[in-house]
Amino acid sequence: MKIAHISDLHFSSSLFVPRWAENVARTMEKERPDLLVVTGDLTNDGYASEFEAAKSFLDSLEAEDMLVVPGNHDSRNLGYTIFEEIFGPRFPTYVGRGVTVVGLDSTEPDVDDGHVGREHYGPIREQFNGQNIRILALHHHLIPIPGTGRERQIPTDAGDLLGVCKEVGVDIVLSGHKHLPWIWNLDGCFFITTATATTRRLKGRSRPAMGILEIEGRSLVLHDIKTDDLERAIVLRTELRVR
Protein backbone atom coordinates (compact mmCIF):
# COMPACT_ATOMS: atom_id res chain seq x y z
CA MET A 1 0.00 0.00 0.00
CA LYS A 2 1.41 3.39 -1.00
CA ILE A 3 -0.08 6.65 0.30
CA ALA A 4 0.88 10.15 -0.86
CA HIS A 5 0.35 12.91 1.71
CA ILE A 6 0.18 16.57 0.72
CA SER A 7 -1.17 19.59 2.54
CA ASP A 8 -1.54 23.37 2.57
CA LEU A 9 -1.67 24.04 -1.17
CA HIS A 10 -3.16 27.53 -0.67
CA PHE A 11 -4.40 28.02 -4.20
CA SER A 12 -4.59 31.71 -5.18
CA SER A 13 -2.12 32.79 -2.50
CA SER A 14 0.43 35.29 -3.77
CA LEU A 15 3.06 32.88 -2.40
CA PHE A 16 1.82 29.89 -4.45
CA VAL A 17 4.63 28.46 -6.63
CA PRO A 18 3.42 26.73 -9.83
CA ARG A 19 6.77 24.99 -10.33
CA TRP A 20 6.44 23.29 -6.96
CA ALA A 21 2.95 22.15 -7.90
CA GLU A 22 4.42 20.70 -11.09
CA ASN A 23 6.95 18.79 -8.96
CA VAL A 24 4.09 17.36 -6.91
CA ALA A 25 2.54 16.16 -10.16
CA ARG A 26 5.86 14.65 -11.31
CA THR A 27 6.22 12.80 -8.03
CA MET A 28 2.68 11.47 -8.25
CA GLU A 29 3.26 10.31 -11.82
CA LYS A 30 6.40 8.46 -10.72
CA GLU A 31 4.96 6.96 -7.53
CA ARG A 32 1.37 6.24 -8.67
CA PRO A 33 0.11 5.83 -5.10
CA ASP A 34 -2.94 3.79 -4.17
CA LEU A 35 -4.29 6.73 -2.17
CA LEU A 36 -3.70 10.48 -2.05
CA VAL A 37 -4.49 12.10 1.31
CA VAL A 38 -4.82 15.90 1.33
CA THR A 39 -4.95 17.39 4.83
CA GLY A 40 -6.52 20.76 4.20
CA ASP A 41 -5.92 24.37 3.21
CA LEU A 42 -6.45 23.66 -0.45
CA THR A 43 -7.43 27.33 -0.78
CA ASN A 44 -6.26 30.60 0.68
CA ASP A 45 -9.64 32.20 1.40
CA GLY A 46 -12.28 29.56 0.74
CA TYR A 47 -13.55 31.10 -2.49
CA ALA A 48 -15.27 28.95 -5.11
CA SER A 49 -12.71 29.82 -7.79
CA GLU A 50 -9.90 28.63 -5.50
CA PHE A 51 -11.66 25.34 -4.81
CA GLU A 52 -12.22 24.84 -8.53
CA ALA A 53 -8.52 25.42 -9.24
CA ALA A 54 -7.55 23.00 -6.45
CA LYS A 55 -9.99 20.38 -7.72
CA SER A 56 -8.62 20.65 -11.25
CA PHE A 57 -5.08 20.22 -9.96
CA LEU A 58 -5.87 17.26 -7.70
CA ASP A 59 -7.86 15.50 -10.41
CA SER A 60 -4.82 15.73 -12.69
CA LEU A 61 -2.63 13.80 -10.24
CA GLU A 62 -1.90 10.10 -10.64
CA ALA A 63 -3.61 8.34 -7.74
CA GLU A 64 -6.04 5.46 -7.62
CA ASP A 65 -8.13 7.05 -4.84
CA MET A 66 -8.21 10.37 -3.01
CA LEU A 67 -9.29 11.47 0.47
CA VAL A 68 -9.52 15.21 1.20
CA VAL A 69 -10.34 17.08 4.42
CA PRO A 70 -10.73 20.86 4.80
CA GLY A 71 -8.37 23.23 6.57
CA ASN A 72 -9.07 26.46 8.41
CA HIS A 73 -8.50 28.55 5.27
CA ASP A 74 -11.04 26.40 3.43
CA SER A 75 -13.71 27.23 6.02
CA ARG A 76 -13.49 30.98 5.43
CA ASN A 77 -16.23 32.86 3.58
CA LEU A 78 -18.66 29.89 3.70
CA GLY A 79 -15.96 27.85 2.00
CA TYR A 80 -16.97 24.73 3.91
CA THR A 81 -20.19 24.65 1.84
CA ILE A 82 -18.18 24.90 -1.39
CA PHE A 83 -15.87 22.16 -0.13
CA GLU A 84 -18.85 19.83 0.29
CA GLU A 85 -20.17 20.75 -3.15
CA ILE A 86 -16.86 20.06 -4.89
CA PHE A 87 -15.14 17.40 -2.74
CA GLY A 88 -18.00 15.76 -0.89
CA PRO A 89 -18.22 14.90 2.84
CA ARG A 90 -16.03 16.80 5.28
CA PHE A 91 -15.62 13.54 7.22
CA PRO A 92 -14.61 11.07 4.47
CA THR A 93 -13.49 7.46 4.92
CA TYR A 94 -11.33 5.14 2.84
CA VAL A 95 -11.18 1.37 3.38
CA GLY A 96 -9.00 -0.86 1.24
CA ARG A 97 -5.71 -2.73 0.84
CA GLY A 98 -5.47 -3.46 4.55
CA VAL A 99 -5.87 0.19 5.58
CA THR A 100 -8.69 2.25 7.04
CA VAL A 101 -8.35 6.04 6.79
CA VAL A 102 -10.84 8.20 8.67
CA GLY A 103 -10.88 11.87 7.69
CA LEU A 104 -11.97 14.57 10.13
CA ASP A 105 -13.00 18.17 9.63
CA SER A 106 -11.16 19.93 12.46
CA THR A 107 -12.20 23.44 11.37
CA GLU A 108 -14.70 26.07 12.47
CA PRO A 109 -16.07 28.77 10.11
CA ASP A 110 -13.78 31.81 9.95
CA VAL A 111 -11.75 30.64 12.95
CA ASP A 112 -8.15 29.42 12.71
CA ASP A 113 -8.32 27.32 15.88
CA GLY A 114 -9.20 23.63 15.59
CA HIS A 115 -12.05 21.59 17.04
CA VAL A 116 -13.49 18.16 16.20
CA GLY A 117 -16.28 17.68 18.73
CA ARG A 118 -17.38 14.80 20.92
CA GLU A 119 -20.31 14.01 18.61
CA HIS A 120 -17.74 12.58 16.20
CA TYR A 121 -15.88 10.34 18.65
CA GLY A 122 -18.48 7.58 18.38
CA PRO A 123 -18.27 7.33 14.57
CA ILE A 124 -14.46 7.28 14.81
CA ARG A 125 -14.66 4.31 17.16
CA GLU A 126 -17.15 2.53 14.92
CA GLN A 127 -15.11 2.92 11.74
CA PHE A 128 -11.89 1.53 13.19
CA ASN A 129 -12.48 -2.20 13.49
CA GLY A 130 -10.91 -5.40 12.25
CA GLN A 131 -7.22 -5.88 11.58
CA ASN A 132 -6.66 -2.96 9.17
CA ILE A 133 -3.97 -0.39 9.84
CA ARG A 134 -5.76 2.60 11.31
CA ILE A 135 -5.02 6.09 10.02
CA LEU A 136 -6.61 9.36 11.09
CA ALA A 137 -6.34 12.37 8.76
CA LEU A 138 -7.14 15.94 9.77
CA HIS A 139 -5.79 19.42 9.16
CA HIS A 140 -4.83 20.54 12.66
CA HIS A 141 -1.99 18.92 14.59
CA LEU A 142 -2.87 17.23 17.89
CA ILE A 143 0.58 17.67 19.46
CA PRO A 144 2.57 20.96 19.31
CA ILE A 145 5.25 21.13 16.61
CA PRO A 146 8.70 22.47 17.59
CA GLY A 147 9.94 25.52 15.71
CA THR A 148 6.50 26.85 14.81
CA GLY A 149 6.09 29.62 17.36
CA ARG A 150 3.69 30.03 20.25
CA GLU A 151 1.01 27.36 20.26
CA ARG A 152 -2.42 28.88 19.62
CA GLN A 153 -4.31 26.75 17.12
CA ILE A 154 -4.16 23.18 18.41
CA PRO A 155 -7.68 21.67 18.52
CA THR A 156 -9.52 22.68 21.66
CA ASP A 157 -10.42 19.03 22.25
CA ALA A 158 -6.99 17.62 21.31
CA GLY A 159 -6.66 15.80 24.63
CA ASP A 160 -9.96 13.98 24.22
CA LEU A 161 -9.15 13.11 20.62
CA LEU A 162 -5.74 11.76 21.68
CA GLY A 163 -7.61 9.62 24.18
CA VAL A 164 -9.80 8.23 21.41
CA CYS A 165 -6.69 7.49 19.34
CA LYS A 166 -5.22 5.51 22.23
CA GLU A 167 -8.51 3.75 22.97
CA VAL A 168 -9.07 2.45 19.44
CA GLY A 169 -5.40 1.88 18.62
CA VAL A 170 -4.83 4.42 15.86
CA ASP A 171 -1.51 3.67 14.14
CA ILE A 172 -0.90 6.89 12.20
CA VAL A 173 -2.25 10.44 12.35
CA LEU A 174 -1.67 12.61 9.27
CA SER A 175 -1.93 16.40 9.51
CA GLY A 176 -0.73 19.69 8.08
CA HIS A 177 -1.45 23.28 9.14
CA LYS A 178 1.95 24.23 10.59
CA HIS A 179 3.81 24.12 7.25
CA LEU A 180 6.72 22.25 8.84
CA PRO A 181 7.31 18.48 8.68
CA TRP A 182 7.55 16.65 12.01
CA ILE A 183 7.02 13.20 13.50
CA TRP A 184 5.97 12.27 17.02
CA ASN A 185 5.75 8.71 18.34
CA LEU A 186 3.23 8.61 21.19
CA ASP A 187 2.52 5.16 22.65
CA GLY A 188 3.16 3.51 19.30
CA CYS A 189 1.04 5.93 17.28
CA PHE A 190 2.96 8.00 14.75
CA PHE A 191 1.82 11.60 14.35
CA ILE A 192 3.08 12.74 10.94
CA THR A 193 2.81 16.39 9.97
CA THR A 194 3.86 17.44 6.49
CA ALA A 195 4.94 20.84 5.17
CA THR A 196 3.18 23.07 2.69
CA ALA A 197 3.69 21.45 -0.69
CA THR A 198 3.24 24.42 -3.01
CA THR A 199 3.74 27.77 -1.28
CA ARG A 200 6.44 29.99 0.17
CA ARG A 201 4.54 30.19 3.46
CA LEU A 202 7.52 28.53 5.12
CA LYS A 203 9.01 28.55 8.62
CA GLY A 204 12.50 30.05 8.61
CA ARG A 205 14.72 28.26 6.08
CA SER A 206 12.47 25.20 5.87
CA ARG A 207 11.44 23.88 2.47
CA PRO A 208 8.20 22.76 0.83
CA ALA A 209 7.59 19.04 0.97
CA MET A 210 5.22 16.11 0.60
CA GLY A 211 5.27 12.60 2.04
CA ILE A 212 5.09 9.10 0.61
CA LEU A 213 4.10 6.34 3.02
CA GLU A 214 4.90 2.76 2.00
CA ILE A 215 3.04 0.15 4.06
CA GLU A 216 3.73 -3.55 3.69
CA GLY A 217 2.16 -5.76 6.32
CA ARG A 218 2.90 -3.90 9.56
CA SER A 219 6.04 -2.21 8.17
CA LEU A 220 6.00 1.54 7.52
CA VAL A 221 8.54 3.56 5.54
CA LEU A 222 8.02 7.32 5.23
CA HIS A 223 9.76 9.27 2.48
CA ASP A 224 10.02 13.07 2.70
CA ILE A 225 10.20 14.64 -0.78
CA LYS A 226 11.12 18.30 -1.14
CA THR A 227 8.91 19.81 -3.79
CA ASP A 228 11.34 22.59 -4.72
CA ASP A 229 13.96 20.20 -6.15
CA LEU A 230 12.58 16.66 -5.55
CA GLU A 231 15.28 15.77 -3.01
CA ARG A 232 14.20 12.59 -1.27
CA ALA A 233 15.00 11.07 2.12
CA ILE A 234 13.68 8.27 4.31
CA VAL A 235 12.69 9.92 7.59
CA LEU A 236 10.96 6.99 9.29
CA ARG A 237 11.31 3.24 9.07
CA THR A 238 9.39 1.28 11.68
CA GLU A 239 7.14 -1.65 12.53
CA LEU A 240 3.59 -0.77 13.55
CA ARG A 241 2.16 -2.55 16.55
CA VAL A 242 0.55 -5.92 15.99
CA ARG A 243 -3.16 -6.24 16.81
Average pLDDT, the chain: 97
**Residue range 214-233: average pLDDT?**
98
Please name which of 10, 53, 3 lies closest in space to residue 198, comparing C-alpha atoms: 10
Going along the chain from its start, the domains and CATH numbers come out as 2-239 (3.60.21.10)
**Residue range 88-108: average pLDDT?**
97
pTM of the model: 0.97
Question: Does 243 score more than 80 pLDDT?
Answer: no
Among 45-59, 148-162, 174-188, 223-237, the range scoring the smallest mean pLDDT is 148-162
For 205, left (φ over 0), alpha (ψ -120 to 50), or beta? alpha
